[in-house]
Amino acid sequence: MRASAADRGSRRPIGVAIVGSGPAGFYAAEALLAGGGDVRIDILDRLPTPFGLIRDGVAPDHQTTKKVALKFERTALKPEVRFYGNVAVGRDVMLDDLRSMYDAVILAVGTPLDRPLGIPGEDKSGVYGSAAFVGWYNGHPDFRDLDPDLGTPAAAIVGNGNVALDVARVLAKTEVELADSDLVDHAAQAIHAAPIADIHILGRRGPAEAKFTNVELREMGQLRDCVPLADPAQLGEAIGPMSDRDRRLREKNLATLAGFADLDAGTASKRAHFRFFAVPTEILGGDRVEGVRVARARLEDGRLVLTGETFEIPCGLVISAIGYRSQPITGAPFDADRGIVPNDDGRVADGLYAVGWIKRGPTGVIASNRPDGVAVATSIRAAFDRGRKPGRQALDALLARAGARPVGYAGWQRIDAAERANATPPAPRRKFTRVAEMLAVLDAAPDRGDRQSAPRGAGEAARKQPAAT
Ligand code: NAP
């Protein structure tokens, strides 16, 4: 007996489009799959490469952290999942199109922009936000041509979070220490040739308020040719009321910093100066940065108060690592003050959801994104018992009409294999840093590579992805 249209409709899987293939996007896909049932998930990314901040944000010398991509790969290779790399929402397809084609759309696009410092002089040449600077040394195509001038004996990094430490460490490490990283060639050449000897890490509050995690802070004490230095007079701060867990974390940081207080820079060529209660008030210089004016501060009942005293740090490079913000997405609401998409535990509107940093702001470690995925998957399951919209088929047709060139997971695997093959050991890969270079790999070797690099099941996944290379 032939199935009626209604019956056929009732068998349609719930179609979910996830915009962004970073950790938040993959945790959402994983949670949707874990719920069982018939769901089909398409993960879109504007770059041909998946994994978002795992590739472009996590420091190049933190290869162990990047291994979480193996777990995301297992999700990408599930038959229900398809990766659409090189497909930009807002360019190749609009959010409204996706919402009309998919039962649910999940925004997982992160917070790609730097928060401004908001002080005079920050537009001078030689001042960079960490999104740009980290993107540059990690080979993000958007920042390929940043070309920062590192020809200065001193750099200032504003912020006391882990990104500030990442930047300081990458600038401080020797060529040997970075040999097993995937620092891109253009950055490696510039950093190794740079005469930077003093790296100033500025915290506007005290050591007990610093947001460093302790493992990362301790790494600063394990560098071959850079000595961390802290002023013992700044380390006596009492820790205010807080949870036992937070107190332990802060005590650990204070103990680590106390270990930096007595160090002798000796013959090390570089020094990393931790300078607390230091509020940058102006970037000095002409067209180029020549220094930072800093106001001394103290905490009174948890409030930051300027003492009225200022000093200057001469430096030719300033990197602000003070957090990130999102940008508005056409077709989605936006809270400009908080720099996020307003949402109720991930639900933005009917059929529209948000996870990760675009949902809650740029906080937490990679795994902090997992609960967001679980919450949204639960909401989607509660809202839909079956699929009603055409999903993937409609997206393929739209992309074909738009002349887009989606890169499927098998295509990424070929790019990945080429990057690994091009590496000089012990470096794990030599990244392509332009989209055209990545696409050229697919043009040059359309039939090779998948089986060599793919884990079990990848060949099958590749065959199931006819629309994308
Ligand atoms: P973050 O942890 O929020 O740190 C931002 C820092 O910037 C804070 O010290 C903040 O000081 C300071 N700041 C903000 N506005 C400022 C201003 N106008 N002037 C001076 N200082 C200012 O942010 P992040 O370092 O960008 O990291 C983002 C998230 O990624 C964090 O959750 C981080 O742990 C995570 N991450 C983790 C790793 C890792 O695990 N290895 C690596 C990188 C990033 P106040 O505290 O006074 O506001």
- So what's the pLDDT on residue 10? 55
In the chain the first and final C-alpha atoms are separated, in Å, by 38
Sheet of strand 198-202, all strands in order from the earlier edge strand to the far edge? 127-129, 317-320, 154-158, 198-202, 270-275, 226-230
Q: Quick one: tokens of 264?
A: 């002798």
CA–centroid distance, 401 to ligand 1, in Å, is 43
Q: Tokens 């490079």: give the residue.
A: 317
Q: Is 56 in the pocket of ligand 1 (CB under 6 A)?
A: no
The pLDDT confidence band at residue 366, using thresholds 50, 70 and 90, is: very high
Query: Length of the chain in residues, anyone?
Result: 469
Q: Is 362 in the pocket of ligand 1 (CB under 6 A)?
A: yes
Spatial distance between the Cα atoms of 62 and 52, rounded to a whole number of angstroms: 15
CA–centroid distance, 323 to ligand 1, in Å, is 5
pTM assigned to the model = 0.93
- So what's the pLDDT on residue 333? 97
CA–centroid distance, 163 to ligand 1, in Å, is 6
Spatial distance between the Cα atoms of 134 and 37, rounded to a whole number of angstroms: 40
Question: For a pocket test of ligand 1, which of 117, 162, 250 has the largest count of ligand atoms closer than 8 A to its C-beta?
Answer: 162
Q: Is 294 in the pocket of ligand 1 (CB under 6 A)?
A: no
Q: Is 206 in the pocket of ligand 1 (CB under 6 A)?
A: no
Q: Is 323 in the pocket of ligand 1 (CB under 6 A)?
A: yes
- So what's the pLDDT on residue 110? 96
The pLDDT confidence band at residue 460, using thresholds 50, 70 and 90, is: very low
CA–centroid distance, 162 to ligand 1, in Å, is 6
Spatial distance between the Cα atoms of 57 and 161, rounded to a whole number of angstroms: 14
Between the CA of residue 392 and those of 16, 29, 84, 287, 397, what are the distances in Å? 9, 15, 10, 50, 9
Question: For a pocket test of ligand 1, which of 66, 130, 211 has the largest count of ligand atoms closer than 8 A to its C-beta?
Answer: 211
Q: Quick one: tokens of 35?
A: 């719920």
- So what's the pLDDT on residue 240? 79
pLDDT digits (tens, 9 = 90+) for 143-169: 999 999 999 999 999 999 999 999 999
Contact 157, 202 (CB under 8 A): yes
- Among 25-29, 73-77, 335-339, 450-454, name the one with the lowest average pLDDT: 450-454
CA–centroid distance, 284 to ligand 1, in Å, is 23
Q: Is 209 in the pocket of ligand 1 (CB under 6 A)?
A: yes
Query: Which residue CA neighbors atom 42 of ligand 1 most closely?
Result: 162
- So what's the pLDDT on residue 2? 42
Q: Give the containing element (helix H, strand E) for 19.
A: strand 14-19
CA–centroid distance, 59 to ligand 1, in Å, is 15
- % the chain with pLDDT above 90: 87
Question: For a pocket test of ligand 1, which of 163, 200, 320 has the largest count of ligand atoms closer than 8 A to its C-beta?
Answer: 163
Q: Is 163 in the pocket of ligand 1 (CB under 6 A)?
A: yes
Query: Which residue CA neighbors atom 2 of ligand 1 most closely?
Result: 161
Report the candidate in 251, 238, 250 with the shortest Cα–Cα distance to residue 300. 238
Spatial distance between the Cα atoms of 222 and 61, rounded to a whole number of angstroms: 13
Q: Is 205 in the pocket of ligand 1 (CB under 6 A)?
A: yes
Q: Is 116 in the pocket of ligand 1 (CB under 6 A)?
A: no
Q: Tell whether the model's pLDDT for residue 218 goes beyond 50.
A: yes
| The ligand 1 atom nearest the CA atom of 215 | 41
- Among 1-5, 243-247, 319-323, name the one with the lowest average pLDDT: 1-5
- So what's the pLDDT on residue 5? 47
Query: Which residue CA neighbors atom 4 of ligand 1 most closely?
Result: 161
Query: Which residue CA neighbors atom 1 of ligand 1 most closely?
Result: 161
Contact 229, 272 (CB under 8 A): yes
Q: Quick one: tokens of 265?
A: 């820079």
- The overall average pLDDT reported for the chain is 92
Question: For a pocket test of ligand 1, which of 64, 111, 160 has the largest count of ligand atoms closer than 8 A to its C-beta?
Answer: 160
Spatial distance between the Cα atoms of 212 and 214, rounded to a whole number of angstroms: 6
Q: Is 160 in the pocket of ligand 1 (CB under 6 A)?
A: yes
pLDDT digits (tens, 9 = 90+) for 84-126: 999 999 999 999 999 999 999 999 999 999 999 999 999 999 9
Q: Which residues of 289-312 are buried (b: 16+ CB within 10 A; e: fewer)?
A: bbbbbbbebebeeeeeeeeeeeee
